[in-house]
Every structure is written in C-alpha cells, then in structure tokens.
Amino acid sequence: MLKAILTDIDGTITDSSRRINTGAIDTIRSLVDNRIEVVLASGNTSCFMDALCKMIGTHGTFIAENGGVFRIGFTGTPHIQGDQAVCREALELLQAHYRKQGTELVLFSPTYRYADLAFGRTVPAEEVKTLLKDFPVQVLDTGYAIHLQAPGVDKGTALIALAREMQLSPSDFLAVGDSLNDIQMLTTAGIGATVANGHPETKAVAQYVAEKEYGDGFMEIMKKYESYLRAAKRSTTI
C-alpha cells in the first residue's frame, strides 16, 4: 500500500525551462491536504529545498544533494551521508587541470553543500569521469550540473534511510523522476514511475511511463495511482 510520494523536481514537476508546473503544485498540495506525505528530492542544496518545501506547501521533508542530505520535517535535523572531503580532493584536481586549459569551473553553491560538490556543465562529463577514474568519487551528470559524490550515496540509499526515520518501508513510496540520478530511487521505492521526457535508462526501470511530459506527466502519474493513494488515506483514518 502506498503511503507517501517521493518526487524529483527539475524535469519532473517543472517544464523544459525549469519553471514549476502550477498544476503539479496544486496536485502536491491536494495530496498533503489529504494526509499523503510528499517528499521532494533534488541535487540542489538543503537551503533551497527548505524554501521550496515552504513555497510548494509540503511538511518539509526532503532529499537534497542527490541523496547526500535528507531531513524529516521542517524542524528535523539534517542527516548527512557520504564524505565531502573526498569530493574536495577530486575537485581540486579538476580545477588545476582546467585552469591550465584556461577554463574556470563554475561552482554551484559550494558554501551551502555538505555532502557533494557541483559545477556547471561547461566541460564534458565523460572527460571529468576519465580524469577522476582513480578517485573514489561518483560523477553524476544530471543534465543541469555535474556533481561529485561519495560512492554508495544516491537518492535510493537516502530513501532507505529516510523511510526508516519515518517508520515506513521504501515499498510504501511511489517515486517519480526523469533523470539517470533518479534510477536508484525508482528501483528502491515500491513503485517507480517516470514522465515522458525521462531518460531512456530511467524509462527502462520504471513501472509506469507517463504519456505526458514534465509536470503534466507527474499529474498523470498521480491520477494513475489515485486509487492506491485513496486506500492509504482510508487506512490512516481508521
């Protein structure tokens, strides 16, 4: 039985310009009002996620930094997974390499990151992977940024830890995403779904692929599993 929703943001509840789909917001607020927990997941920072949770209208539970940080509720303590020190060493090597070529990496909010490090997609992700092949780091290209993350940390491992804190099972979650970095949470959750603009590898592991893209696809998925969510609401009421 589904008891909670876990959704990616960029490309999943936004449009192609990264504007949040207002219909998706209305859908999320309706779920929250009907006592279905909605968890937002992103590669973005904790402070960004905190603000987004408030503005969308969830209870403040999120996964940030591609699984590197998660928090339960607005008053919860952030849990940090992974070792950022390893990521810093890898970043220093990259910066030295690209500076020799006259390229400066554009870092994304390094002061506000606690687990991973991220920079702009101004250099080829595959080249970055080659340069760091001897480093114990993961290189994630989300389509919006390139992230350096400690091995074994992803949205799926964060879901396992988060569900435990919430006294739920990962199988209680319906997870929705679109990118390669969403695959682990889709395969860890009870049901994994993706929108029509999802990456082919993400579609390959999803139990349902929406016909519509972006935020409209998210709403389609919520409609698809509406009966499961109603059952969860009835179970909570009894």
Indicate which CATH number applies to the domain containing 115.
3.90.1070.10
State the pLDDT at residue 237. 40
* Residue type (1 letter), 31: L
Q: Mean pLDDT for each 10-residue chunk of the chain (238 residues)?
A: 94 94 97 95 97 97 98 97 94 97 95 96 96 95 94 97 96 96 97 97 98 98 88 50
Q: Rounded CA gap, 149 and 84, in Å?
A: 7
State the pLDDT at residue 229. 80
The DSSP bridge pattern shows strands 191-194 and 173-177 to be parallel
The number of CA neighbours under 13 Å toward the Cβ of 164 is 8
- Give the residue numbers annotated as catalytic, written as ranges: 8
Q: What is the CATH number of the domain that holds 193?
A: 3.40.50.1000
Residue that terminates a domain, selected from 104, 132, 149: 149
Domain range enclosing 130: 84-149
* Helices of type H across 19-175: 22-33, 46-56, 84-100, 125-131, 155-165
* Pick from 158, 201, 198: nearest CA to 39: 158
**How many domains does the chain divide into?**
2
Which burial class, exposed, middle or buried, applies to 135 when counting CB atoms under 10 A from its CB (0-12, 13-18, 19+)?
Answer: middle
Please tell me the pTM assigned to this model.
0.93
Q: Rounded CA gap, 215 and 15, in Å?
A: 6
